[in-house]
Structure 1
Amino acid sequence: MSKKHIDLLSFSGLPAPVYFRYADFDAHSHALEHRHPWGCLEYSAHGVMHMEIAGQRFMSPPQYAIWIPPGTEHSFYNPQPIVYRAVCL
């Protein structure tokens, strides 16, 4: 199975003080290690996200969000399809 790369946000700053991101990601999709100057509360409304944040691994099932502080290196992988939601501040 080949992994599908997830496109990251391409701006250097948020377009508004609060930015919402919604996406459907296919099974075996991933985002490589990256960081950004804003904090982000990420969760999956359906499916389980597998994340690595500052060298620690986390799993985020529905109803359990994960806070990623500003400037913190992180990545994620989804072995199954997910319905992704994020609130960036």
Structure 2
Amino acid sequence: MIRSGDYEHLYCHLGGSAGGGVYTSGPVRLVRGQPVRRGQLIGHVGLTGSTTGPHLHWGVRHRGAWLDPARILRAMAASRRQVMARRSPPNVGSFR
């Protein structure tokens, strides 16, 4: 579980091991309460439980209420498209 303000992100089926407030997976070692940075590697996709292949389950709560991750991802993609559309085309020369 990673908390960010009023949000809690839950990552299930990660590779590695967890116990005693510590998660490790290869070079990743996270301790309960440790701050994490944007873009920081927090784990590896695993192959746990009864499964046919590696996968990740991501859940997100806002103030205790579960949200639909698909809606969040769609909103993030739409926001990114808007930012890209507002950018001016690159300033390039012309071939003569």
TM, length-normalised to structure 1: 0.25
More helix by share: 2
Which has more radius of gyration?
2
Task: Give the TM-score, by structure 2 length.
Answer: 0.24
